[in-house]
């Protein structure tokens, strides 16, 4: 999720009313091999995230499930995206947020300019920061989660070594399902919500629900998207679905159906992932709702935040799984 120097989200669409997401600018990779530009080391790298952002949320989940909390630190920005972009805040003022104890920055944008003084694009989270080279390794969530998935196994406790959410035998299928889910669901809700023309909105909204119908069918037959094993594809989708009813259904006008009442298999799947050890604490619904409803004033000018948090995700599932990966 991003902010630009102008802070004007309405400039993100083209003349046809379509929303276009920026391609990430920093695409280096931490590697567990000799001679790597960014070698895997304990306590060298730091994550900057927003609890509100579904892309950053992915990295928090993988960090948790891979046992990396003592290996890679994290800083959390304020939920409100203001004219200067993402801002750090004291947890005394904004519970859940943190100050930047690594670089002493007030805003995420300062990290981008520290890494590249000529940077002119949007200031996005997540950011994976190298504390030794004082620069950004990556701001692409899909690549950060793959680094966390494999490159730090040497440093984690034995129980986490070898856990992978991108197993060799399923990579082709994971890449394929990630492709259409990203375009039509993860990014699809944004393309509907930030559309500035009726045709663009309707096309993208209907695309969201066509894919949700397809996912519902998959989960009617499988515990997870690719069978009985939890993979990266599930984690990438989960961060969108957990925001769907409380935010995207109303705020982004993706209102043909709700997850809680219209998609029983997706709801079961969401509960099962949410109830895995450690996942619940990565979901901060106060940050999520306040970010969207209070930051996007061109959509919600009075900044009124709805009461509902969506379906009860703590309701026990019929087939709980302690570690399906």
Catalytic residue numbers, as ranges: 53
Strand 135-138 vs strand 127-130: parallel, antiparallel, or unpaired? antiparallel
For the chain, the 3-state helix, strand and coil shares in percent, each to the nearest 5, are: 40, 10, 50
134 half-sphere exposure, CB direction, 13 A CA radius? 8
Closest CA to 184 of 165, 197, 203: 203
Contact 121, 6 (CB under 8 A): no
CB atoms under 10 Å from CB of 266, counted, come to: 21
Whether the bond into 213 is cis, omega within 30 of 0: no
Strand 135-138 vs strand 73-76: parallel, antiparallel, or unpaired? unpaired
Helix (H) or strand (E) holding 180: helix 171-181
Instruction: Name residue 82's beta-bridge partners.
Output: 85
Q: Is the dihedral of CA 190, 193, 197, 201 positive or negative?
A: positive
Contact 294, 52 (CB under 8 A): no
Distance CA 264, CA 271 (A): 11
Instruction: Name residue 138's beta-bridge partners.
Output: 27, 128
Distance CA 169, CA 178 (A): 15
Closest CA to 283 of 248, 247, 250, 239: 239
């Amino acid at each position: 999720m991003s902010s630009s120097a102008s802070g004007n989200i309405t400039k993100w669409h083209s003349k046809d009313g379509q929303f276009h997401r920026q391609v990430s600018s920093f695409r280096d990779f931490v590697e567990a091999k000799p001679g790597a530009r960014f070698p895997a080391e304990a306590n060298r790298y730091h994550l900057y995230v927003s609890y509100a952002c579904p892309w950053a949320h992915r990295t928090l989940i993988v960090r948790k499930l891979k046992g990396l909390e003592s290996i890679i630190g994290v800083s959390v920005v304020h939920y409100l995206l203001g004219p200067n972009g993402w801002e750090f805040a004291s947890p005394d003022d904004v519970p859940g947020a943190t100050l930047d104890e690594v670089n002493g920055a007030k805003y995420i944008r300062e990290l981008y300019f520290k890494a590249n003084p000529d940077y002119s694009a949007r200031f996005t989270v997540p950011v994976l920061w190298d504390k030794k080279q004082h620069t950004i390794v990556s701001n692409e969530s899909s690549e950060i989660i793959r680094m966390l998935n494999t490159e730090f196994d040497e440093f984690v406790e034995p129980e986490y070594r070898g856990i992978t959410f991108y197993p060799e035998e399923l990579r082709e299928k994971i890449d394929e399902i990630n492709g259409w889910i990203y375009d039509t669901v993860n990014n699809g809700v944004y393309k509907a919500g930030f559309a500035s023309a009726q045709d663009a909105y309707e096309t993208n909204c209907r695309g969201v629900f066509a894919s949700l119908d397809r996912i519902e069918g998959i989960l009617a037959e499988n515990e997870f998207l690719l069978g009985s094993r939890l993979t990266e594809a599930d984690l990438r989708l989960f961060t969108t679905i957990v925001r769907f009813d409380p935010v995207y259904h109303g705020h982004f006008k993706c209102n043909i159906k709700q997850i809680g009442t219209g998609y029983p298999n997706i709801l079961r799947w969401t509960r099962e992932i949410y109830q895995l050890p450690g996942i619940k604490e990565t979901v901060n619904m106060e940050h999520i709702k306040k970010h969207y409803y209070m930051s996007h004033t061109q959509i919600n000018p009075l900044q009124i935040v709805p009461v509902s948090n969506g379906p009860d995700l703590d309701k026990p599932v019929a087939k709980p799984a302690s570690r399906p990966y």
